[in-house]
Amino acid sequence: MEQSFLTTKISEIVAWGRKYSLWPMPFGTACCAIEFMGTVSNMFDISRFGAELVRFSPRQSDLLLVLGTINYKQAAILKKIYQQMAEPRYVIAVGACATCGGFYDNYAVLQGIDEVIPVDVYVPGCPPRPEQILLAIVKLQEKLEAEAKGKQAKDQLRAKAQILDSARHSEFKGTFVPGSQTTSGEKH
């Protein structure tokens, strides 16, 4: 007992804590939100990754999950919600609509939420499988860890990319989650 001790850096232990206690806030506007319901419930169980405490207030959460189509009128609301979240805050764009507008190439729909807020992880699919959403969370955890280890001077990027008023920014690129090949949850 006397000999069990651990050395680490404060930033790393903070990141370790953060990694497994992400509090998501779902911003569900369309069908992808249904997929999130699947992700949080027993079949896929998001709590295995420590992100089960879903909050419906941006002030109490640090992970913004954008699930669904965002149109121009919603864009301002989304931006407001992002601004209300306290740092550190992370954003996952779930589904084709949130990442790039999806098949709604028209007058009303925002072509990707990265036109208004910075995005950490993009999840493709229409809708993505729950495994892909879980993979996105794992990718975000990896990113958090890498950030603490100083692999990326992410804070600088984040400061630059703060809230974007103009076009898509190029320096702040999120991670791309490939289509999940797993088929669990099919035959239950």
Residue 76 vs 126, nearer CB to other proteins: 76
Residue 95 is a binding residue for ligand SF4 (CB under 6 A): yes
Residue 17 and residue 136: Cα distance in Å, rounded?
Answer: 18
Minimum Å gap between C-beta 109 and other proteins is: 10
Residue 56 and residue 127: Cα distance in Å, rounded?
Answer: 22
Task: Compose the 70-89 pattern: x for residues touching other proteins by CB under 8 A, - for all others.
Answer: --xx-xxx-xx---------
> Can you tell me which of 96, 133, 137, 161 binds ligand SF4, judged by CB under 6 A?
96
Stretch that binds ligand SF4, among 27-35, 52-60, 110-118, 133-141 (CB under 6 A): 27-35
Residue 117 and residue 109: Cα distance in Å, rounded?
Answer: 15
Residue 39 vs 69, nearer CB to ligand SF4: 69
User: Hey, how many other C-beta atoms are within 10 angstroms of the C-beta on 173?
Assistant: 15
Residue 42 is a binding residue for other proteins (CB under 8 A): no
Count of H helices and E strands in the chain?
A: 6, 5
Residue 106 is a binding residue for other proteins (CB under 8 A): yes
Instruction: Read off the tokens for 77.
Output: 């609301």
Instruction: Read off the tokens for 148.
Output: 């603490």
> Can you tell me which of 39, 61, 69, 141 binds ligand SF4, judged by CB under 6 A?
69
Instruction: Read off the tokens for 156.
Output: 């600088």
How many residues sit close enough to other proteins to count as binding (CB under 8 A)? Answer: 15
Encoded amino acid at 73, one letter:
K
Residue 15 vs 119, nearer CB to ligand SF4: 119
Report CA-CA distances (Å) from 140 to 147, 166, 167: 10, 25, 24
Q: Which residues bind ligand SF4 (CB under 6 A)?
A: 30-32, 68-69, 95-97, 102, 126-127
